[in-house]
Structure 1
Amino acid sequence: MSDDLPVFDLNGFVPYQVSVVAHDLSQGLADDYRRRFGITIPEWRVLVNVGYSDKVSVRDIQKRVRLEKSKVSRAATRLEAAGYLTKRIDPDDRRLLHLELTDKGRALLAEIVPIAKAYQERLTRVLGPDMAALRRSLDILMTARDL
């Protein structure tokens, strides 16, 4: 360590901690649904957003899940090729691609959601009463605009 650098505790730096924990939590669940269903993290995020939104486009998902547009597009293309969703060009704005689940996609989501819920229940057991405080803090951070 260099003596000319300011003192800095990386392990106590909240953005670093949140990033590491988010990665680990996401990866833990992703390993399970990749093994069982052959889908990736971006595909899961697209699938669940399409399934639980009234009308959703690639652009909407990209903004919501903070993934690059190319990753969302590739995930949607793979899900379409696998028969889990359909793409439809918006008649009023040809730049927008609307996504909808197929029956096969709904069936997959019906299998995956209980796994995600069970994963969250395990997390809740680990955190105990601190889960409520974590949820409140995350809600604040997710809506904060001026950080």
Structure 2
Amino acid sequence: MSERKRIVDFPRPRLMDDTQSLPIALLRAREAVMAWFRPHHRKGGVTEQQWRVIRVLYFGGEMEAGELARRAWLLAPSLSRILKDLEAAKYIRRRPGESDSRQSLVSLSPRGTAMVNRVAPFLDGIHREIARRVGPDRVEALLALLDQLERALAPAPEARRRSRK
């Protein structure tokens, strides 16, 4: 008689299914929203990440590359490649920092500003259609809830200091 290894049945941890998972729900919602915007990014010849950089620069003006990465929610290595491509397309300008030549200051070029002004009416129309379908008050409430969620889950200042050491 051959001896089989007996598989021990451990109790399974209680895990919410994917319909109740906050991370998955947020990803599903993001994909539903981005499906409305992606075709316009493609028509404009920019990626979602490139558009985030352009948008941050449009509203924030010239800024240091590290700050741009944080505000556009991009990792520094990704931002380097994106900046190279946007610079080649003449949508942005880069210059060294005044006090530190290793620092890179990035701004939107006149061509980049013109592109934003050209596509803004289309993107604004998408925002209006989403608000029409969901309800403007609900979109406003959703944005407020997401802001509250982000603030509530942000690391405490003490935890941020410890993680930098």
Could you say whether these structures have the same fold, taking a TM-score greater than 0.5 normalized by the shorter chain as the test? yes
Q: Distance in 1 between matches of 2:133 and 2:18?
A: 24
Give CA-to-partner distance per residue, 1:32-61, whole Å, 9 cap, x none: 221x21110111011111111133122112
Question: 2 CA distance for matches of 1:117 and 1:103?
Answer: 21
The CA deviation at 1:94 is 2.6
Aligned residue in 1 for 2:147: 139
1:110-135 per-residue CA deviation (whole Å, 9 max, x = no partner) reads: 11222221111111111113222212
User: What per-residue deviation string (whole Å, max 9, x for no partner) do you get for residues 125-147 of structure 1?
Assistant: 11113222212102212333149
**Closer, same or farther: CA 55–7 of 1 in aligned 2, 3 Å:** closer
**Alignment of 1:63 onto 2:40:** no
Residue 95 (structure 1) aligns with: 102
Specify the alignment match of 2:54 in structure 1: 47
Please state whether the residue corresponding to 1:83 is helix, strand or coil: coil
TM-score by length of 1: 0.86
Shift, 1:106, TM fit = 0.9
Q: Which of 27, 37, 43 matches 1:29?
A: 37
Distance in 1 of aligned mates of 2:50 and 2:37: 13
Secondary structure of 2:94's aligned partner: strand
User: Which residue identity is paired with 2:21?
Assistant: F
Alpha carbons of structure 1 residues 33 and 101: separation in structure 2 relative to 1, 3 Å: same
Query: Over residues 7-48 of structure 1, what are the superposed CA-to-partner deviations in whole Å (9 max), with x where a residue is unaligned?
Result: 4221111221112211332343122221x2111011101111
Q: Is there any run of 5+ residues in structure 2 with no aligned partner, and where?
A: 1-10, 157-165
* 1:121 match: 128
> What's the Cα RMSD here?
2.1
Counterpart contact for 1:33–1:112, Cα < 8 Å? no
Identity of aligned residues (%): 22
How far, CA to CA, are the matches of 1:38 and 1:127 in structure 2?
29
Is the CA contact (8 Å cut-off) linking 1:29 and 1:119 kept in structure 2? yes
Deviation at 1:78, TM superposition (A): 0.8
Unaligned runs of 5+ in 1: none
| SS across alignment from 1:86 | strand
User: Partners of 2:119 and 2:151 in 1: how far apart?
Assistant: 27
- Partner secondary structure for residue 52 of structure 1: helix
Give 2:93's aligned residue: 86
> Hey, what's the Cα distance between the residues in 1 that align with 2:37 and 2:144?
22
Query: Are 1:84 and 1:105, in contact at CA under 8 Å, matched by a contact in 2?
Result: yes
What is residue 25 of structure 2 aligned with on the other side?
Answer: 17
